[in-house]
């Protein structure tokens, strides 16, 4: 499957997003993307990789129920794709072996890109590649334990900040280890989700590791953006994060663009509202709890309704829904014939933040190799995990 992707199509990948890319969201993306292409009279040939939420290696080994639910897939997910996070080579390696031995997934992505403080302050995510020895140990152990049975890929950022850039060294280490591809988000950890992604870094990585595919991530809000990234960087694929929030059909539009077909127009408000309701129903089904599923749906409301005339009072009430019946009642009066303008549809969405200092373990930047005390700190951080 993965060989076919790289041989015939640029790769399109859904970026794992905590609290978002669960089974319900992944299904909505698959259905909406197929539907928008079929409405345009195009044959759907979607080979998109829809990655599940980040899973903590230690919690997976401990078989926490919540963590196991993160790596549960619908029967028709043609590629079961998970992302593992960890800061200890042995634990990450054992988690990879568990996934392979128990046939839990078809693809394992390693997280070296998360910029959130609770991850970086333990030396994880986008902070970890600064420690070349630790990073190399984790990647090499993961590839070795996958034993050629499940492809391992890496997701990373440019570096910690402009003074501590890691992506070229990290990309080369990953390529030498034998990863299937390297995905680069063109931002540093300090940028978080603010500013603009630097696509030039993606192009430089493509040149730096010519024998390993590179996927580009950052500021892809439209099919045109995805096409431009491929042309401007030479990347073999694109990774879509915030751009698909409230626009699960974006993957279908991108597939059309890179296949040389006309990009399907944005759906009408009626189709969007039906997708919103479908998403809510899937969340309720997934949790087997109507209140909990509706509560989870609240975060998606503003994303789906961006650019639609809804009314401030209705928007406020939708952010507090407790039942599917309540959702139906609130959506009923909205004009279903509204059309999203391309300017609104393709505008940035999701969280944005200013550049800020990255929260790191004490003395982390003093050296690019691990000290004995840092090794102990990392081990304790990994073992302290109690959930996914």
C-alpha span between 159 and 180 (Å, rounded): 21
Give catalytic status of residue 114 as yes or no. yes
**Which of 247, 260, 263, 245 is CA-nearest to residue 351?**
245
Catalytic residue among 29, 114, 244, 294: 114
> What SS3 class is residue 162?
coil
**In this structure, what are the phi and psi dihedrals at residue 10, rounded to the nearest 5 degrees?**
-60, 140
* Residue with tokens 């990647």, as numbered in its chain: 139
Q: Work out the burial of residue 298: count CB atoms within 10 Å of its CB; fewer than 13 is exposed, 13-18 middle, 19 or more buried.
A: middle
* Residue with tokens 């809000």, as numbered in its chain: 221
C-alpha span between 199 and 217 (Å, rounded): 8
**Which of 80, 76, 56, 78 is CA-nearest to residue 66?**
56
Helix H or strand E encompassing 29: helix 23-39
As a whole number of angstroms, the longest Cα–Cα distance in the chain is 64
Residue 43 has what DSSP assignment? Answer: -
CA distances 181 to 108, 151, 192, 281, 379, Å, are 11, 9, 23, 35, 27
Q: Work out the burial of residue 343: count CB atoms within 10 Å of its CB; fewer than 13 is exposed, 13-18 middle, 19 or more buried.
A: exposed
Residues 6 or more apart whose Cβ sits within 8 Å of residue 14: 21, 26, 29, 48, 49, 50, 51, 239, 240, 244, 251
| 297 token code pair | 């749906």
C-alpha span between 252 and 33 (Å, rounded): 4
Residue 97 contacts residue 142 (beta carbons within 8 Å): no
Enzyme catalytic residues: 114
């Amino acid at each position: 499957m993965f060989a076919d992707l790289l041989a015939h199509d640029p790769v399109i990948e859904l970026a794992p997003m905590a609290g978002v890319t669960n089974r319900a969201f992944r299904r909505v993306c698959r259905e909406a993307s197929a539907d928008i292409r079929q409405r345009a009279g195009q044959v759907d040939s979607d080979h998109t990789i829809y990655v599940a939420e980040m899973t903590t290696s230690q919690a997976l080994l401990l078989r926490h129920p919540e963590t196991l639910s993160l790596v549960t897939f619908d029967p028709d997910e043609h590629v079961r794709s998970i992302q593992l996070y960890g800061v200890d080579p042995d634990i990450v390696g054992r988690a990879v072996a568990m996934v392979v031995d128990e046939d839990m997934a078809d693809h394992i992505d390693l997280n070296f890109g998360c910029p959130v403080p609770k991850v970086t302050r333990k030396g994880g995510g986008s902070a970890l590649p600064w420690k070349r020895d630790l990073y190399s140990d984790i990647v090499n152990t993961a590839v070795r334990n996958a034993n050629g049975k499940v492809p391992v890929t890496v997701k990373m950022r440019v570096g910690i900040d402009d003074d501590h850039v890691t992506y070229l060294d990290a990309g080369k280490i990953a390529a030498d280890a034998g990863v299937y591809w390297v995905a680069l988000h063109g931002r540093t950890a300090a940028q978080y989700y603010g500013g603009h992604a630097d696509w030039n870094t993606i192009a430089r990585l493509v040149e730096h590791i010519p024998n390993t595919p590179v996927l580009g991530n950052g500021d892809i809000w439209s099919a045109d953006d995805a096409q431009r990234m491929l042309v401007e960087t030479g990347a073999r694929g694109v990774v879509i994060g915030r751009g698909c929030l409230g626009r699960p059909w974006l993957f279908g539009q991108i597939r059309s663009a890179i296949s040389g077909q006309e990009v399907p127009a944005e759906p009408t408000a009626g189709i969007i509202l039906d997708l919103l309701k479908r998403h809510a129903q899937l969340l309720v089904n997934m949790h087997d709890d109507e209140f909990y599923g509706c509560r989870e749906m609240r975060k998606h409301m503003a994303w789906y309704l961006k650019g639609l005339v809804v009314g401030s009072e209705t928007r406020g009430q939708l952010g507090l829904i407790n039942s599917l019946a309540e959702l139906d009642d609130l959506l009923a009066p909205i004009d279903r014939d509204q059309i999203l303008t391309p300017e609104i549809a393709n505008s940035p969405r999701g969280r944005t933040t200013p550049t800020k200092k990255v929260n790191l373990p004490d003395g982390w930047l003093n050296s690019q190799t691990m000290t004995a005390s840092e090794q102990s700190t990392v081990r304790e951080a990994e073992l302290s995990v109690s959930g996914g």
